[in-house]
Amino acid sequence: MRGRIDSLLCPAGEAVALIAPGSTVACGGFIGAAHPEALTAALERRFMATGAPRDLTLVYAAGQGDGKTRGLNHLGHKGLLRRVIGGHWGLAPRLGALALAGDIEAYNFPQGVICQLFRDIAAGRPGCITHVGLDTFIDPAHGGGRLNAVTPAGLVERVELGGSTWLWYKSFPIHAGLIRATAADPHGNLVMDDEAIIGEVLPIAQAARNSGGIVIAQVARLLDRPADPKAVRVPGILVDRVVLAAPAEHEQTFGNAHNPGFVTAGMAPAPPPLPMDERRVIAARAADELRPGDIVNLGIGMPEGIAMVAAERGMLDLVTLTVESGPIGGLPAGGLSFGASLHPRAVVDQPAQFDFYDGKGLHFAALGAAQVDRHGHVNVSSFAGRVAGVGGFVNISQNARSLVFCGTFTTGGLEVAVEGGRLRVVREGRVPKFVAEVDQRGFSAARARARGQKVLYVTERAVFRLGDDGLELAEVAPGIDIKAQVIDLMGFTPRVGAVAPMSPRLFTAPGP
């Protein structure tokens, strides 16, 4: 059975040739999951061959890239882009290089806000009005999320509504939406049966269509029969072109070509135990804060180890692990497959997941930290001459009821040994992480205190809590000298009261 799909099918190069100079382009995906790799690669090839299109504005919510050449790195060329509005930049260093050089206007807004903003654009609303981002570097009072001096102000504004202060992230037209699905049916309807996430494909398509723009969809295959109507994620009436992608440009994630466990129910196997090192100590101490019944988000990197410790302790059935990309339940994947979950119980779209997070639905979250200052503010987005971006960090950290920041005490060559239930620093890191003032504020300790949020800062050698007037030292590891190996290495003096020892079991390998 053939239908409308015949008029929609075309090669990738022909499809991206429809993107006019100066267009605003929205691109979906999460690292590599649901990212339209065939389309971004074709857009790069066209620009390199013809010099067109030029001066695009790129808008995306979740970071999309492999830290090298794939994903949005395809678009990291001077002249191709004029402006970028993105949630996470770390895996697209080519975009970050343009921002640092001042070659583009560059904004870093919360991932959750951007994917929700697509819905507001689609609905013809003036923008996304939210508390997310207040008192961070995204707040106009602290820079408005601008990443360099050439970036103008005005995309986000403070407003007063009902006696409270909110942030207004302003709408703008979307001229082209680049999305991905598993298959297209004869009507051009898109289904996502083999995709690890749903993402924000429908809001992007609706925003582009209602802005008078075009929607280009990448798929892995075509269906001979109409899809189950309830399985359709984007109706064909919204789709202008369909590109059939080669398998190499339609891998399930940038870490897995295809893992059936990402899209099927079942019992996730127990992950391998963590080695007895600093990462395990931090993950084990953070896992002590989990409570039965908790709905949980674990950030990428160091916090991923908490799931492994929870599995060892038999807690995976007692808590529900979620990922901001949409999976609920199961075991979150790591590395370049982060965003997927192994045998999730459900997968919702990304804007809906952030609705739940922003409304304080998370009981517990554990996130990384690049810098912590005397106030308790945290920076994860800009340090050491690179632009990482906040991703979903602001939504999650601002709204989780209980929050743990995880990271080593110092970085840059740190080496520790866990011996006989004690911690020994073999070689100290070159870079301190506890500083007088963070370079960029992604988490506001003042707002956390105002809403009574419980906040801990867990390292391999010490645990701090957020107190009434800043950071308080709460626990120290066995074998660590408080003055020489903690306080003297900080850029400020924390409040020190009755300091408890970190539990010896954190420094003892688990039994068989």
Closest residue by Cα to residue 244 from 7, 4, 3, 10: 10
400 Cβ contact list (under 8 Å, min separation 6): 297, 357, 360, 362, 363, 364, 365, 453
CB distance 330 to 336 below 8 Å: no
164 Cβ contact list (under 8 Å, min separation 6): 131
6 Cβ contact list (under 8 Å, min separation 6): none
What tokens were used for 471?
Answer: 């950071």
462 Cβ contact list (under 8 Å, min separation 6): 409, 473, 475, 476, 477, 480, 486, 502
Respond yes or no: is residue 472 known to be catalytic: no
What tokens were used for 334?
Answer: 């790591």
Question: Which residue in 200, 324, 472, 475 is the catalytic one?
Answer: 324
Phi-psi region of 301 (alpha: psi -120 to 50; beta: other; left: phi over 0): left
| Cα 469 from Cα 378, distance rounded (Å) | 15
Q: State which H helix or E strand residue 27 sits in.
A: strand 24-27
The SS3 assignment for 322 reads strand
Pairing of strands 454-458, 402-406: parallel
Closest residue by Cα to residue 105 from 78, 125, 124, 134: 78
As a whole number of Å, the CA-based R_g of the chain is 23
The SS3 assignment for 158 reads strand
What tokens were used for 222?
Answer: 């075509």
Packing angle, helices 278-287 and 305-312, rounded to 10:
70
Alpha-carbon dihedral sign for residues 421, 424, 426, 432 = positive
Catalytic residues: 324
